[in-house]
Structure 1
Amino acid sequence: MVKDIQDTVHPFDAASVLGLLPARPRVLALGEPTHGEDSLLELRNALFRQLVEEEGYRTIAIESDCLAGLIVDEYVTSGTGALDEVVERGISHGWGASAANRELVRWMRAHNEGRPASERIRFAGVDGPLEITGAASPRQALTALHGYLADHVGPGLLPCTADTLDRLLGADGRWTEPGAMMDPARSAGQSPEAAELGLLADDLVALLDEQTPHLIASTSRDDWDRACLYGRTATGLLRYHHWMADASPARLTRLVGLRGRMMARNLLALADRGPVLVHAHNSHLQRERSSMRLGDIPLEWWSAGAVASAHLGGEYAFVATALGTIRHRGVDAPPPDTVEGILYALTEDRCVVDARRLATALGETPPAPRVSPWFGYAPFDPAHLAGSDGIVFVKDLPQP
């Protein structure tokens, strides 16, 4: 078996990854099967450095809050702030504590030092301001969008005043109520105020679109892009809160689908300004439908990658990461009849695998699915081989 697939295996580097593709994609998506492992983030960092230095990539996006990510982007492009504080505040989900994430931001700032704006690399969070336990208040996004428009268009065109927004938003605790994720009745997302905010947010986004020529000319493309991000985030959060308050059986499916949509829209906007490397969980970036269980409830949805791929076609590429062992999590050597087991028999500690050629080499009988003893690791689904452009395989994750 190993001899049959050896010609599908390449060294881990940017040239090998791009060599699997017919052309350089606008979005190169690198997935990971588990979170919190710095060794995987170090591989991501190494790949991004090569893409920047050898292939002209200018943006990296990670699975982190898109609004918080503006803090990191400001730091890497202009040096605003102190590294430790920027990483802590600008990378969500608690991942600012990662040494590899800190090193990524440090390297990006050092790379940009002294370079003209056109040559600087950029950082972005691709996720919404969401956590597993709930969602942020729409205040930051809504008030920032309103403020941008108020500064640059006639006040008669605005659908409301800043005071009206503040009154309708109320206390942020209404939106971040921790019990609302499991109890729809505790969410403010379908209150009369939320409904009015939804209409106002749509009007503000429409005004932003209508005034695009004037706004780009009088501010800058970057300022307009940021305002568009505020608009996407405000409307996305209001929809998310609406469905948090919904008691129908569709509630959880709609929530995971809305998160995927927010991520996809952010990713497509980033792709408009040049090639981007995005790094997130495999389930967020794969082309196939994603699935999970929340307790005894099965959920399926189209992920950000699936939506982005549908829009971009051949300009979207997905490379999954698969692992042999995570012994400190109780994940030992994989069964030999799984994708991971077949790759584990290779001599390489890490490599890039041509997923479609591997699928052809393995014939009509697909490998068996691997079952993980640890909930935090999602094995590679053998049914996804033909839908992936490549696999980064790491034989053994080191003890952190």
Structure 2
Amino acid sequence: MDMARTVRAWIRDKSVPLTTIDPADPLDDLAPFGQFVGAARVVALGESSHHVHEFYRLRHRLIRYLVERHGFTVLALEAPFTEALILDHWVHGGAGTAPQVASAGVALGLGDTPEFHETLTWIREHNAVNNGTPLRCVGADLPGSLGSPLPALQQVHAYLLQTDTPGAELAQQAIALAEKFHDPWPITALSTYPLLSQSDRDALSATLGLLLARMRRTAPARHLAGHGAAHEDALHHLMGAWQLDHLHRSLPTEGISAASTFRDHYIAASVLRLLENDPGCRVILAAHNWHIHTATQRDDGGGDLYPAGHHLRAALRGDYLAVALTAGRGTTGVAFEVENPETPSFTEATLPPTEPDTIESIFPDDAAWYLADLRGAADTAIDAAQHPRMRMADYFLDQPALTGFDAIAHVTETRASEYARGHANNPPAV
């Protein structure tokens, strides 16, 4: 058993200094990361903010290591389950370019930067020459991440046209209602939904509920008829539309933090579904630190929030590992809730200096990055409660790292992504 020590002493003893984040460099220095991963079936790689150059690069390096050295077979992204189908098609040789499929398959502009395009290109090249199991690249999030259910409903309708005419008619009714607020840009759809009449909102919720009940009721018959896999795929698309509807309905009264937990539940369900469908697969989940955290969070009103990592830890126990990525200094990407897809959604901001109660303040700064194993620290470090905060974009958040993450990858200095840096001098008006 570890002797009682301070968090600083824990980090000193349990962290490994590493010299490179270059995805193309040799991988032998990541052996300590491999020991940490062990036989886990799901490894989540987080980020304290989207659109950070070093986070994209380090994730790419860790993904390559997990695939080449440990046989991981699926990369699940914080991207819509439905729209991201184009990504999986492309990395297996489909048409188009990396920027085109990233823009179409990843919501909110999270894929619109060359650093992410490099990761996609590596996966495609890996699959082209790999004689073993290819690496899948899938989305795990709600339609549009929080936007329109229309893409998911169109997938459901296409399936039901082949198998269930009355069900297809219900899906068409839902499509007609969704078209009233649909927009390819999620923030526009999110802001247009409240303009629907109450009768339209109620009709959409009722129709989605009826369709979901029908598809669940008919599932055994579809399996017996040989349509089991297609039925379950369509059902997961529909579950995304149904939970997105709950997000939209709860937003005015519960706020974005609570409403977004419908995203977290669906992200976790998407990952668990991958494991159920292929018991031999191992999954890398790439999502924001907020989503992969394993402990419950609190909203401003004191209510409990359940991140995807909380659901995954409950289901998988030690087979789920959450690795937060954070930074010591530099710049970061910051988001704007713009309603025009032609307006940049991310720009660059300076990271504030670390503060004594933040986990980042403990790390030294004489290596490119540090990997620290946090398992056991919350119960052992005598001053664990004195470090409750960590970075979130360009501020600090009450999110205790020691109770919610299994490890931290602390990058000494970061800069915003190429996309965000390109818009640093002309952020959108908000």
Report deviation, 1:36: 0.9
Report deviation, 1:275: 1.1
User: What residue is the counterpart of 2:284 in the other structure?
Assistant: 277
1:206-225, Cα deviation, whole Å (9 max, x unpaired): 1563245346x468x5x455
Q: Does 1:236 align with 2:253?
A: no
1:10-44, Cα deviation, whole Å (9 max, x unpaired): 255653234235x4222111111111112101100
> What amino acid does structure 2 have at the position aligned with 1:16?
P
Q: 1:115-264 maps to which residues of 2 (within 5 A)?
A: 115=130, 119-130=133-144, 135-136=147-148, 138-151=149-162, 153=163, 155=164, 158-162=165-169, 165-170=171-176, 172-176=178-182, 186-187=195-196, 191=200, 192-207=202-217, 209-211=219-221, 213-214=223-224, 217=226, 221=229, 223=230, 226-244=233-251, 249-250=253-254, 252=256, 254-264=258-268
Q: Does 1:55 align with 2:70?
A: yes
Alignment partner of 2:400 out of 370, 379, 383: 383
Q: Does 1:109 align with 2:124?
A: yes
> What amino acid does structure 2 have at the position aligned with 1:127?
D
1:315-362, Cα deviation, whole Å (9 max, x unpaired): 11111122111247332542456421111x353220110113555674
User: What residue is the counterpart of 2:32 in the other structure?
Assistant: 16
Alignment partner of 2:410 out of 370, 379, 393: 393
Q: Does 1:326 align with 2:342?
A: no
Alignment partner of 1:342 out of 362, 369, 390: 362
Report deviation, 1:181: 5.1
Q: Does 1:308 align with 2:308?
A: no
Aligned-partner Cα distance in 1 for 2:327–2:248: 36
In 2, are the aligned partners of 1:169 and 1:193 still within 8 Å (CA)?
no
Aligned-partner Cα distance in 2 for 1:188–1:268: 36
In 1, are the aligned partners of 2:75 and 2:137 still within 8 Å (CA)?
yes
In 2, are the aligned partners of 1:27 and 1:276 still within 8 Å (CA)?
yes
What is the alpha-carbon root mean square deviation over aligned residues?
Answer: 3.3
> What amino acid does structure 2 have at the position aligned with 1:91?
V
Aligned-partner Cα distance in 1 for 2:216–2:291: 29
* TM-score, normalising length: structure 1: 0.81
User: What residue is the counterpart of 2:87 in the other structure?
Assistant: 72
SS of the counterpart of 1:160?
helix
Aligned-partner Cα distance in 1 for 2:193–2:177: 18
1:132-160, Cα deviation, whole Å (9 max, x unpaired): xx520x33322322322432x4x4xx533
User: What residue is the counterpart of 1:6 in the other structure?
Assistant: 12
> What amino acid does structure 2 have at the position aligned with 1:330?
T
Aligned-partner Cα distance in 2 for 1:189–1:350: 52
Report deviation, 1:130: 3.7
Aligned-partner Cα distance in 1 for 2:396–2:258: 25
Aligned-partner Cα distance in 2 for 1:313–1:190: 43
Aligned-partner Cα distance in 2 for 1:212–1:7: 55
Report deviation, 1:187: 3.7
1:65-119, Cα deviation, whole Å (9 max, x unpaired): 2212100101112323333321221222112321111011111111111546x61
Give the direction of change, closer, same or farther, for the CA distance of 1:267–1:354 in structure 2 (3 Å limit).
Answer: same
Structure 2: runs of 5 or more not aligned: 1-5, 19-28, 333-348, 418-430
> What amino acid does structure 1 have at the position aligned with 2:237?
Y
In 2, are the aligned partners of 1:29 and 1:317 still within 8 Å (CA)?
yes
In 2, are the aligned partners of 1:354 and 1:389 still within 8 Å (CA)?
yes
Give the direction of change, closer, same or farther, for the CA distance of 1:342–1:386 in structure 2 (3 Å limit).
Answer: same
Structure 1: runs of 5 or more not aligned: none
Q: How many residues align?
A: 378
In 1, are the aligned partners of 2:359 and 2:387 still within 8 Å (CA)?
yes
SS of the counterpart of 1:126?
strand
Aligned-partner Cα distance in 2 for 1:275–1:189: 44
Q: 1:357-368 maps to which residues of 2 (within 5 A)?
A: 358-359=377-378, 362-364=381-383, 366-368=385-387
Q: Does 1:35 align with 2:50?
A: yes
> What amino acid does structure 1 have at the position aligned with 2:213?
D
